């Protein structure tokens, strides 16, 4: 089904949340035996490999959190390993160090109990760095201004409506603004707006209270559903979970990458519009 689209700005919030859940299950409580770095671009905030490796050596991973699209692995030293997957980054678990290492593997973390965590990133937009927990926001300015997280910190419809009304912006642009809401990109903004029956270019200050509620509910439901189906893996197959398995939510997309097919709500033909450098998919008939 509809695997034609390439990931524009993938992975988004559901995919990062799936990796977080996998990491929580697989690496929390494990002690780091050694770290190898093969690509300096992946640890570009550090001046040297040693500066990245030393604070990880012999440390235990105590918790895994997510803030927007950033993964934060707490260490038993008050340090934190911050991971951003960028556009093509993958974290893969290997049961033993003998498992063949994929091409474009830039960082390998080996645990004392055996097994490895590997950071694979063909396009090298992703990164890893170690810092003190208190300094994370200083290091990543994006996190200082991050909007609310629809999966982690629900807000009231009233707050949401008030915030929408203040912006006077096209809905899709606003949903993709990380300062407004964390972690939503091209795929999920289209899916959320379709679920809410709202057009991408509708201005945020024109919504009735019923539409505000519908948009908020659609946002939460679409993201929860995407996590349930283990995320969206598109034509480039860049998103996979910790075991290297692709997601299945692309088979449940209602509009994204379905132009020319019929709308599942009103049977009209779905359209695609180029907005800037991105494609926007929607139903011209039942999104108002």
Q: What are the residue numbers of the active site?
A: 11-12, 69, 278
Across the strands, what pairs with 93?
117
Least Cα distance to 88 among 39, 145, 32 occurs for: 39
For the purposes of burial, counting CB atoms within 10 Å of the CB of 257, is it exposed (0-12), middle (13-18) or buried (19 or more)?
buried
d(CA 218, CA 216): 5
d(CA 195, CA 272): 17
Is 12 in contact with 185 (CB distance < 8 Å)? yes
Is 71 in contact with 16 (CB distance < 8 Å)? yes
For the purposes of burial, counting CB atoms within 10 Å of the CB of 233, is it exposed (0-12), middle (13-18) or buried (19 or more)?
buried
For the purposes of burial, counting CB atoms within 10 Å of the CB of 81, is it exposed (0-12), middle (13-18) or buried (19 or more)?
buried
Helix (H) or strand (E) run with residue 214 in it: helix 209-228
Q: Length of the chain, please?
A: 288
């Amino acid at each position: 089904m509809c695997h034609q689209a390439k990931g524009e700005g993938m992975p988004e919030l559901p995919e990062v949340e799936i990796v977080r859940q996998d990491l929580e299950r697989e690496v929390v409580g494990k002690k780091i035996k050694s770290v190898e770095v093969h690509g300096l671009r992946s640890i570009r905030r550090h001046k040297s490999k040693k500066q990245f490796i030393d604070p990880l050596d012999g440390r235990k991973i105590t918790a895994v959190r997510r803030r927007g699209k950033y993964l934060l692995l707490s260490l038993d030293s008050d340090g934190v390993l911050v991971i951003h997957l960028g556009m093509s980054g993958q974290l893969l678990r290997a049961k033993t160090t003998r498992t063949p290492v994929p091409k474009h593997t830039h960082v390998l973390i080996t645990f004392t109990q055996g097994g490895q965590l590997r950071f694979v990133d063909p396009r090298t937009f992703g990164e890893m760095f170690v810092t003190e927990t208190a300094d994370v926001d200083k290091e990543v300015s994006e996190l200082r201004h991050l909007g609310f997280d629809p999966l982690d910190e629900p807000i009231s419809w009233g707050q949401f409506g008030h915030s929408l009304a203040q912006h006077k912006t096209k809905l899709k642009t606003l949903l993709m603004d990380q300062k407004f809401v964390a972690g939503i990109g091209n795929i999920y903004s289209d899916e959320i707006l379709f679920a809410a029956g709202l057009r991408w270019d509708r201005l945020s200050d024109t919504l009735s209270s019923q539409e505000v509620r519908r948009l908020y509910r659609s946002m939460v439901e679409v993201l929860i559903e995407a996590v349930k189906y283990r995320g969206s893996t598109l034509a480039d197959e860049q998103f996979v979970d910790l075991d290297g398995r692709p997601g299945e939510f692309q088979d449940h997309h209602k509009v994204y990458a379905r132009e020319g097919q019929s709308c599942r709500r009103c049977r009209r033909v779905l359209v695609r519009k180029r907005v800037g450098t991105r494609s926007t998919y929607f139903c011209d008939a039942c999104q108002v």
